[in-house]
């Protein structure tokens, strides 16, 4: 049979106008799963001591509360802590931590949020009072009231709402800023009754005349064409697919360099809320011939979500990848490996599971991880790994050469499916 040639068209990469910043943060990740608990924690290590201590304190508080609230439950529970990270005008670091606690035994989903604004120049955590005066705060009141009543009219708790109308900075401790908006957050039941999600409203800065001391600067990125190299795969020879979940992360670049050195490709299933912090890393994935897949926006337990929340998790990630690279993922990896008929129906992407679990998220030793993988591999295996640990990188330095010596071709998840189809057709034609 002739060799299968897989040609991937060039992708036009459009990058909008953004501030150029040096990203200092690493990502702390903890994934735990057993019969009764599914835990996914992702938060940043910024290397600013005061901020890191406060973030760690808040993460520990939320996680301990989850353990306490679900300790006696005999039904599965989920703890999901994710974050967003942005830099404004190369100076102000904006971080939000979002926590979701969910269980069949709880009456409702418990959501909470923490926000942090850091002045990197002064290395100081800021409050809204550092940006505006009390007189300017008074201008927010009617706009805030209008926004809240417009968006949350049916669930506003009027007694609490009346108290919030007093111009007190204590009521505005949860906030972030963009170039055009002040975004205010309130935890469930702080202002509302029977509403489980975080309350958020956007106040246009130009409507309140805020004179925030931003250091202005606009930087334009040139449009770039990503030319993905041609790949030749022989469907008569053994193939194997390396897949990575939960990235990108601080360690992904190391893994990409190793893959390029070994002249192999893989599939990376990305968490949407991490992508903008690792834009060059994601671009490099495609440039090197790797495949990008969808792994949700914040690693929530997808089969537990209602239709709207599920669509949001998938669509936000699709849009983030498309906006950055011009490439639209066609495959996805269900979080926790949980999939049902509703999920398949709602998500118009090909679900990719795995046949070999490296367990690198819990095994600390690289040699043990490598041996576990190598003992289980066979033709058309799909290996599950995570590009969020250094030990995974170290294990790959053992796994890849060994499998190459055994005659395996490394293919992406989509290429593996194509090889299977070609083999099936050849078998029918025989």
End-to-end CA distance of the chain: 11
Q: How many residues comprise the chain?
A: 430
Which residues are CB-contacts of 180 (< 8 A; sequence separation ≥ 6)? 204, 205, 206
What does the alpha-carbon distance between residue 260 and residue 281 come to, in Å, rounded to a whole number? 13
What does the alpha-carbon distance between residue 275 and residue 322 come to, in Å, rounded to a whole number? 11
Cis peptide before 248 (omega within 30 of 0): yes
Q: State the catalytic residue, choosing from 114, 295, 299, 386.
A: 386
Q: State the catalytic residue, choosing from 245, 246, 360, 387.
A: 245
415 in Cβ contact with 380 (< 8 Å): no
- At 193, list the tokens: 């009754």
What does the alpha-carbon distance between residue 63 and residue 70 come to, in Å, rounded to a whole number? 11
Which residues are CB-contacts of 13 (< 8 A; sequence separation ≥ 6)? 223, 224, 225, 226, 283, 324, 325, 326
Q: What are phi and psi of 183, to 5 degrees?
A: -110, 120
Q: Which residues are 337's β-sheet partners?
A: none
> Would strands 231-233 and 4-6 be described as parallel, antiparallel, or unpaired?
antiparallel
CA dist 386 to 363, 374, 391, 400, Å?
12, 16, 10, 15
CA 89 and chain centroid, separation: 23
245 is catalytic: yes
Active site residues per annotation: 245, 386
């Amino acid at each position: 049979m002739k060799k299968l040639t897989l040609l991937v068209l060039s992708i036009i990469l459009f990058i909008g106008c953004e501030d150029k910043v040096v990203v200092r943060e690493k990502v702390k990740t903890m994934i735990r799963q057993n019969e009764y608990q599914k835990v996914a924690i992702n938060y940043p290590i910024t290397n600013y001591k005061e901020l890191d201590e406060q973030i760690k304190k808040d993460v520990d508080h939320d996680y301990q509360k989850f353990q306490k609230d679900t300790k006696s439950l005999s039904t599965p529970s989920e703890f999901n802590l994710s974050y967003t990270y942005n830099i404004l005008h190369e100076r102000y670091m904006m971080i939000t931590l979002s926590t979701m606690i969910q269980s069949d035994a709880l009456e409702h989903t418990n959501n909470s949020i923490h926000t942090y604004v850091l002045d990197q120049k002064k290395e100081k955590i800021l409050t809204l009072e550092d940006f505006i005066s009390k007189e300017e705060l008074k201008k927010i009141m009617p706009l805030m009231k209008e926004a809240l009543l417009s968006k949350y009219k049916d669930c506003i708790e009027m007694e609490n709402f009346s108290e919030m109308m007093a111009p007190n900075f204590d009521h505005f401790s949860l906030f972030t800023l963009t170039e055009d908006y002040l975004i205010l957050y309130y935890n469930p039941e702080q202002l509302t009754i029977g509403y489980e999600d975080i309350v958020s409203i956007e106040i246009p800065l130009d409507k309140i005349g805020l004179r925030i001391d931003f250091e202005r600067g606009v930087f334009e990125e040139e449009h770039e064409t990503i030319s993905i190299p041609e790949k030749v795969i022989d469907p008569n020879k053994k193939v194997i697919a390396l897949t990575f979940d939960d990235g990108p992360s601080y360690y992904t670049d190391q893994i990409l360099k190793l893959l390029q050195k070994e002249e192999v490709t893989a599939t990376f299933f990305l968490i949407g809320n991490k992508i903008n912090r690792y834009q060059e890393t994601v671009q490099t994935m495609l440039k090197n011939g790797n495949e990008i897949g969808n792994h949700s926006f914040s690693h929530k337990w997808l089969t537990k979500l209602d239709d709207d929340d599920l669509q949001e998790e998938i669509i936000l990630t699709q849009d983030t990848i498309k906006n950055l690279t011009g490439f639209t993922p066609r495959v996805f990896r269900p979080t926790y490996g949980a999939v049902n008929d509703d999920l398949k129906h709602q998500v118009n992407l090909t679900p990719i599971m795995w046949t070999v679990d490296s367990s690198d998220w819990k095994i600390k030793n690289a040699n043990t991880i490598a041996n576990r993988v190598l003992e289980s591999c066979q033709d058309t295996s799909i290996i599950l790994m995570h590009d969020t640990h250094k030990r995974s990188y170290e294990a790959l330095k053992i796994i890849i050469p060994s499998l190459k010596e055994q005659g395996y071709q490394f293919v992406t998840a989509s290429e593996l499916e194509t090889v299977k189809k070609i083999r099936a057709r050849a078998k029918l034609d025989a």
